[in-house]
Amino acid sequence: MDNGQIPQAPIPPVQPVQPIQPAMPIQPAGPQTTANGAPMVQQVTVLPKEKKNIAELIKTIVIILVSLVAVTFIGLFIWMYVQYDEARTDVEGKIDIAVAEAKDEQATKMEAEFLEREKYPYKVFSGPVDYGQLTFEYPKTWSVYVAAAADKGGDFNAYFNPIQVDAVGKDTINALRVTIRDKSFDEVAAEYQKAMEKKNANLTMESVTFGKNGDIVGNRYTGKIPQTELNGFIVVFKIRDKTVIMQTDSVLFQPDFDKLLNTITFNA
């Protein structure tokens, strides 16, 4: 009932206080072991910064290696290209030289054939009648100069050369010199024998047969022409009581010289 007093709230029962448990002692850190007693391996965790440094170092090493390989290959390529270019240039140069030589050889051959054709028909030379009338054929492209006709005795001298006769002299080259000496064959042969016996003579002799009929016998001298610096050929043979000396001053005229020797005739 309401008797004018404020009702009081019920008071909860008091819980008994639990005793405080003593704290567990802290064990010192020591090596940890597995369940079977083996020591555990502790793994060191690499910090992110150290990982980054190692990665950059590896990257740098790889770049350097790649660069070295690239430089090596580039250098090898350049060297091989230079070798190839030199070889190609050398081959092309050899081909050009070979072509040029072939053209020159062909041109020289054609010119030689042309000059040989120009020599025909051959002209006929006829010497003094009183000296056996020596006769032979010579290229029509050669000129003749008779220096001594021997119409009053003495020696006969004539000179032959392509186009024109050069000034006559000991060291002047002419394709052919013809001399008919007013001396016996033995006397003239003895003169050449003495020339052969001189020091550093460089002159040889052989007996030859020639002429249009192949019945002329004479001496053929090859080498340094006496009293000159010329190298050529000399043929000496007998006509009656005279002696004929036919000489070419250069080995370049040997084919023509040999050819005209085989056309020689004379009156015995």
108 vs 235, residue with greater confidence: 235
pLDDT reported for residue 200: 87
Q: 59-101: per-residue pLDDT in tens?
A: 889 899 898 898 998 988 899 888 888 888 888 788 888 888 8
pLDDT reported for residue 106: 80
Residue 193: HSE in the Cβ half-sphere, 13 Å Cα cutoff? 7
pLDDT at 1 over 50: no
Length of the chain: 268
DSSP per-residue letters across 224-256 = EPTTSS-EEEEEEEEETTEEEEEEESBGGGHHH
Least confident range from 40-54, 153-167, 190-204: namely 40-54
Q: 28-56: per-residue pLDDT in tens?
A: 555 555 555 555 555 555 556 677 788 88
Query: Across residues 156-161, what is the average pLDDT?
Result: 97
Least confident range from 116-125, 153-162, 188-197, 256-265: namely 116-125
67 vs 11, residue with greater confidence: 67
- In terms of average pLDDT, the best of 59-73, 105-119, 203-217 is 203-217
pLDDT reported for residue 138: 97
DSSP 112: H
Query: Across residues 259-266, what is the average pLDDT?
Result: 97
Query: Across residues 141-159, what is the average pLDDT?
Result: 93
Residue type, 17: V
pLDDT reported for residue 23: 54
117 vs 23, residue with greater confidence: 117
Least confident range from 146-150, 212-216, 232-236, 241-245: namely 146-150
Angle at 109 between CA 105 and CA 115, to 5 degrees: 145
Domain range annotation of the chain: 47-118, 123-261
pLDDT-based confidence at 153, cuts 50/70/90?
confident
In the chain, the percentage of residues whose pLDDT exceeds 90 is 51
Strands 176-181 and 123-126: unpaired
What kind of architecture, by CATH, is found in domain 123-261?
3-Layer(aba) Sandwich (3.40)
Q: 123 near 136, Cβ under 8 Å?
A: no
Two tokens, residue 76:
């090898």
